[in-house]
Amino acid sequence: MARIYSDRDASLEPLKGKKICIVGYGSQGHAHALNLHDSGLDVVTALPEWDKESWKRAEKDGIKAVSLENIEGDLIAMLIPDMVQPEVYRKFVHEKLKEKSAILFAHGFNIHYNQIVPPPNVDVIMVAPKGPGPLVRRMFVEGKGVPALVAVQQNASGKALQIALAYAKGIGATRVGVIETTFKEETETDLFGEQVDLCGGVAEMIKNSFEVLVEAGYQPEVAYFEVLHELKLIVDLIYEGGIFNMWKAVSETAKYGGMTRGKRIFTSAVKEEMRKILREIQSGEFAREWILENMAGRPVYNKLLEMEASHPIELVGKEMRKLIPWLK
Ligand code: NAD
Ligand code: MG
C-alpha cells in the first residue's frame, strides 16, 4: 500500500522563518506562491526580465518578484517549463544553493534523467500536484486542496521529507492526501500516462474512429458527436465511480457491444506496444529524443502540431461546438 500523508502528518514548522523562492509565476508557480503566502510563509517569485506579463501578475497578486539574477532562498522551487529548467538552473540556481538548502520540483524529468545535477549537500525534493495550477489555487481558496505526490531524491538536511510535506501542506495538498513516490516512479508513470493513455492514446482513438465513420460515408457532424463529444459523458462516469460505474449507466446493448468489441481494438499487439513505449521511457530513449528535438528547434514537434490542428475533426468540431450553449 502506498504511504499517504494528510494534514496531521505534516507541519509548516520546517518552513517557518525560511525564505522560499518560486522560480516562475505560471500555471503551478502562481498557485504555489499564493497558497504558501496565504499559509503565512515567506515567499518571493523569480522571473525572467522579458516576461512582463508574469511580473505584472505577481505584482497585482501582492507577491514580491525578483529577477533570475537575484534568486536566493532556503527552498528554491523550479516551476518553469521542464525544457528550460536545465539552462536556468546552470545559469542562475546552481551557485545559489547553500549547504542544506532545498531544491524542489513539481515533476521529476530533469532530476531523473540527469539534466539537472544538484550538489550532494542540498535536499532534492518533489511536490507534484495532481491537477493544473488554477485548480490548485481555487481549491485552496475554497478550503480544500488538490492531491499531490511527494518524493525525496536527496536528503542532505535529514529533514527533506518533513520539508516537502510542509510545502505540500502550505499549498493545501495534505488537506486531501499526499502520496509518497520516487522521482523515478513519478517521471516514468507520468510520461507513460500522457503518451499511451491520456493524450496520445485518446487522441488517436478519437481521430481513427472519426476517420472510419467519415470514410464509410457518414456525416462528419454525426461522427463528431458520437466519437468525441460523448466521450466526456463516459469519462465523467468513470472518473466519478470507476469503469464499472460507467457499465452500470449505459444501455444493455452498449454493455454487450462494448465488452465484446473493445477487446478487439486493444489487442495483445497494442498492449505489447505499450510495453515497448514503457521500455523507451525507462531506458531514457524517449528523454534523449525529446531533449535532442528541443535542441534542434523542434522540427518534428512543430510539424505534428500543425497536422493535429488541421485534422478534419478540428474543422467540424469548431462548428459543432458553436451549437453547445454550455461551451460558450
Ligand atoms: P508554465 O509554462 O506555466 O511556466 C511559466 C513560467 O515560466 C512563467 O512565469 C515564465 O516567466 C517562466 N519561464 C518561461 N520560460 C522561461 C525561461 N526561459 N527562463 C525563466 N523563466 C521562464 O509552467 P507550469 O506548467 O506551471 O510547469 C512548471 C512545472 O510544474 C513543470 O515541471 C511541470 O512539469 C510541472 N507540473 C505542471 C502541471 C500543470 O498542470 N501545468 C502539473 C503538475 C506539474
Ligand atoms: Mg501527468
Confidence (pLDDT) at 169: 98
Q: Which tens digit of pLDDT belongs to each residue from 100-124?
A: 999 999 999 999 999 999 999 999 9
Q: Residue 204: which pLDDT band, with cuts at 50, 70 and 90?
A: very high
Q: Residue 1: which pLDDT band, with cuts at 50, 70 and 90?
A: confident
Confidence (pLDDT) at 328: 73
Rounded distance from Cα 34 to ligand 1 centre (Å): 15
Examine the residue annotation and report whether 30 is marked as an active-site residue of this protein: no
User: Distance between CA atoms of 35 and 165, rounded to whole angstroms?
Assistant: 14
Is residue 327 scored above 90 in pLDDT?
Answer: no
Residue to substitute in 22, 23, 28 for testing ligand 1 pocket (most ligand atoms within 8 angstroms of CB)? 28
Nearest CA to ligand 1 atom 37: 28
Rounded distance from Cα 45 to ligand 2 centre (Å): 24
**Mean pLDDT to the nearest integer, 299-305:** 98
Q: Which tens digit of pLDDT belongs to each residue from 173-187?
A: 999 999 999 999 999
For residue 199, the ligand closest to its alpha carbon is 2
Q: Which tens digit of pLDDT belongs to each residue from 120-152?
A: 999 999 999 999 999 999 999 999 999 999 999
Cell of 130: 495532481
Residue to substitute in 35, 52, 53, 79 for testing ligand 1 pocket (most ligand atoms within 8 angstroms of CB)? 79
Q: Which tens digit of pLDDT belongs to each residue from 62-104?
A: 999 999 999 999 999 999 999 999 999 999 999 999 999 999 9
Confidence (pLDDT) at 191: 98
- Express as a percent the part of the chain with pLDDT over 90: 98
Q: Residue 50: which pLDDT band, with cuts at 50, 70 and 90?
A: very high
Q: Which tens digit of pLDDT belongs to each residue from 256-279?
A: 999 999 999 999 999 999 999 999
Helix/strand/coil (H, E, C) string of the chain?
CCCEECHHHCCCHHHCCCEEEEECCCHHHHHHHHHHHHCCCEEEEEECCCCHHHHHHHHHHCCEEEEHHHCCCCEEEECCCCCCHHHHHHHHHHHHCCCCCEEEECCCHHHHCCCCCCCCCCEEEEEEECCCHHHHHHHHHCCCCCCEEEEEEECCCCCHHHHHHHHHHHCCHHHCCEEECCHHHHHHHHHHHHHHHHCHHHHHHHHHHHHHHHHCCCCHHHHHHHHHHHHHHHHHHHHHHCHHHHHHHCCHHHHHHHHHHHHHHCCHHHHHHHHHHHHHHHHCHHHHHHHHHHHCCCHHHHHHHHHHHCCHHHHHHHHHHCCCHHHC
Confidence (pLDDT) at 306: 98
CB-based contact 196:277 (threshold 8 Å)? yes
Rounded distance from Cα 201 to ligand 2 centre (Å): 14
Average pLDDT over the chain, rounded to an integer: 97
The residue from 30, 32, 37, 107 that is catalytic is 107
Torsion angle, alpha carbons of 159, 164, 167, 171, to 10: -160
Q: Residue 54: which pLDDT band, with cuts at 50, 70 and 90?
A: very high
Confidence (pLDDT) at 312: 97
